[in-house]
Chain A
Amino acid sequence: MISIEHVSRRFGDGPDAVVALDDVSIEVPRGSIFGVVGQSGAGKSTLLRTVNALERPDSGRVVVDGVEVTALEGKALLQARHQIGMVFQHFNLVGNRTVAQNVEFALEATGAPKKDRRPKALEMLDLVGLAHRADDRPGQLSGGQRQRVGIARALASGPDVLLSDEATSALDPETTRSILELIQRLSRELGLTVLLITHEMDVVKRICDAAALMETGRVIEQGSLDDLIRTPGSRVAAELFPVGEAHYIPHHRIIDVTYTGLSADRPVIAQLARDFGLDVSILGAALETIGGHQAGRTRLAVPGDASVALKVIDSLTAQGVTAWEVLA
């Protein structure tokens, strides 16, 4: 649905130039929620803005639903933007106009006839549970409510794509959760494809199907969350399962075991102790609900040498969990 192909963007010239995007390619499947994580300055924001051409890449192209956004100009670009909604960290609502007028503005931008705008705006506000605040000013609403209005505005023109620029970063944890749930629900109900950027791994854990990690303008790793958590050395996975730093222990091998879905309920460690008669110690463990599924990671210290470690890993793999040696 969204194809970002070899996109590069630099700001400034000469030695002061900042490379915001360095040959970034990302593929977001239709109907999925894709999260780009990274610290501030990693280029996430610039990347997101290339999708609706608020930012133009120096090279590469961006295709949304078969339309090459990077090649659009003038009216065609405005029309493409009607199909791509966007929500912002600071909501960006017009403070001197009412909530309903803010949403109506999105409809006016598409050229919708005047008489249809208010009913449609109220319908959108109802969708986010704020129809009763239609005639208030945004300043009278709480942060979470303002973001709901932002979402209603972004979706008023009936887009297929929603871009989220740190939509929950200015909100408290409770409100963050409710906004994320709203985005997830709307994504399912309306068949939206969501591309979000965030610096909070929690956001990825809660609603994303797939993620990319960015650092200094580059994508370090990307893939579906299911794949990423089974990838040895994945930094996204390490963030999702905080089992701590791996430390060398004499005469032991360190093994990470990652399990998802059904295998999460099986007593794989106990099985291991029985099969090999090993005194396995657990160094750390993390259980998370990722994309609605149970998933976990356990860090084990297994006494023995490399051959023992290999046997253990084979045995674990046979039981349907993913295991690999750390610090090998």
Chain B
Amino acid sequence: MIDPAAPTFWPQLMQVLLEGTWETVYMTAIAMAITFVVGLPLGIILVGTEQGRFLEAPFGSRALGRVVNGLLGFIVNLGRSVPFIVLMIALIPVTRWLLGSFIGTGPAIVPLTLVAIPFFVRVVEIAVREVDPGLFEAAESLGASRWLLVRRVLLPQATPAILLGTATTITSIINFSAMVGVVGGGGLGNVALTYGMQRYSWIHIVFVVIILFALVQLIQWALTALAKRLGAQPIRRGPKKDATADAQAHLDADLALPSSRTPTHPSGSTP
């Protein structure tokens, strides 16, 4: 039991919280950065290799497109269906092999990244799927290469939805990061675990909750603002729906059932 009346209590609390916050931000930032770099292309490839899409035949091979699509879909589903705590423990040998140790804040980034990538691939998938197929057709009709199509059509259109999804992904990384205390990872979750649970300091818990809340708010606000800016279309009151809002709705529905195994890549297209 910690005594809040002790003169060292508040300075120590600040010290612990500061360190915890830094570790959480550090783990989340690195995990998100890796997730973004890996997940963005994977999400684009996952949708692109569907039948009738721009990557249905990579290197001129339809069979390759089908294999890549099937494999990616399978991995994403697999990754999303394993509970984080199980994944974290299962990854201990991998992390040890990769980083030499599985204890601590750094190694905790490995399971955090691996749980976030499938989630983020799904985010990108939804965002890309919302891009009007007519735009791809127009780009094709102009004789644009696939790379140009991705850069100048797909990304500009999908970016607002991807940013909103990034906010959601970061939030869930922060969520999961609270659990890495189990494998010796630091962060605010660990603060709550060691001070709040093991030493009965409710003051620590309250502060941890406030800081986490502020972090999530800040990220959501910043990315929403950015998404609005990039997708700003003031006079857009047509039959076409707002892709950004729509993607968010999909995502919210998806989050309501975190362990659902709905297929993420309905195949087949109508002629």
> Interface on chain A toward B: helix, strand, loop, or mixed SS?
mixed
CB contact under 8 A between A157 and B143, given known A94-B153, A96-B157, A139-B236: yes
Chain B residues within an 8 Å CB radius of A18: 271
Closest to B160 in A: A96
A260 to B144: give the CA distance in the assembly, Å.
Answer: 45
- Are B271 and A97 in contact, CB atoms less than 8 angstroms apart? no
- Are A92 and B135 in contact, CB atoms less than 8 angstroms apart? yes
Tell me which of B29-37, B64-72, B102-110, B226-234 binds A: B226-234
> Interface on chain B toward A: helix, strand, loop, or mixed SS?
helix
Chain B residues within an 8 Å CB radius of A86: 138, 141-142
Chain A proximity of B214: nearest CB distance (Å): 31
Chain A residues within an 8 Å CB radius of B240: 90
Question: Is B99 in contact with chain A by the CB < 8 A criterion?
Answer: no
- B143 in complex: contacting residue of A11, A82, A163, CB < 8 Å: A82
Binary CB contact string for chain B from 131 to 145 against chain A (1 if under 8 A, 0 otherwise): 010110111111111
Tell me which of A104-112, A226-234, A298-306 binds B: A104-112
Chain B residues within an 8 Å CB radius of A93: 135, 138
Q: How many residues from A make CB contacts under 8 Å with B?
A: 38
Chain A residues within an 8 Å CB radius of B236: 95, 139
CB contact under 8 A between A79 and B143, given known A54-B137, A94-B135, A137-B233: yes
Chain B proximity of A164: nearest CB distance (Å): 11
- A88 in complex: contacting residue of B134, B144, B160, B233, CB < 8 Å: B134
A84 to B240: give the CA distance in the assembly, Å.
Answer: 28
Chain A residues within an 8 Å CB radius of B199: none
A95 to B134: give the CA distance in the assembly, Å.
Answer: 12
Binary CB contact string for chain A from 14 to 25 against chain B (1 if under 8 A, 0 otherwise): 000010100000
- Are B143 and A94 in contact, CB atoms less than 8 angstroms apart? no
CB contact under 8 A between A94 and B157, given known A12-B271, A109-B143, A139-B234: yes
A94 to B240: give the CA distance in the assembly, Å.
Answer: 13
Question: Is A205 in contact with chain B by the CB < 8 A criterion?
Answer: no
Chain A residues within an 8 Å CB radius of B271: 11-12, 18, 20
- Are A81 and B143 in contact, CB atoms less than 8 angstroms apart? yes
- Are A81 and B132 in contact, CB atoms less than 8 angstroms apart? no
Interface residues of B in 113-168 (CB under 8 A from A): 132, 134-135, 137-145, 148, 152-153, 156-157, 159-160
Q: Which residues of B contact A (CB under 8 A)?
A: 60, 132, 134-135, 137-145, 148, 152-153, 156-157, 159-160, 230-236, 240, 271
Q: Which residues of A contact B (CB under 8 A)?
A: 11-12, 18, 20, 52, 54, 73-74, 77-82, 84-86, 88, 90, 92-97, 101, 105-106, 108-110, 137, 139-140, 153-154, 157, 163
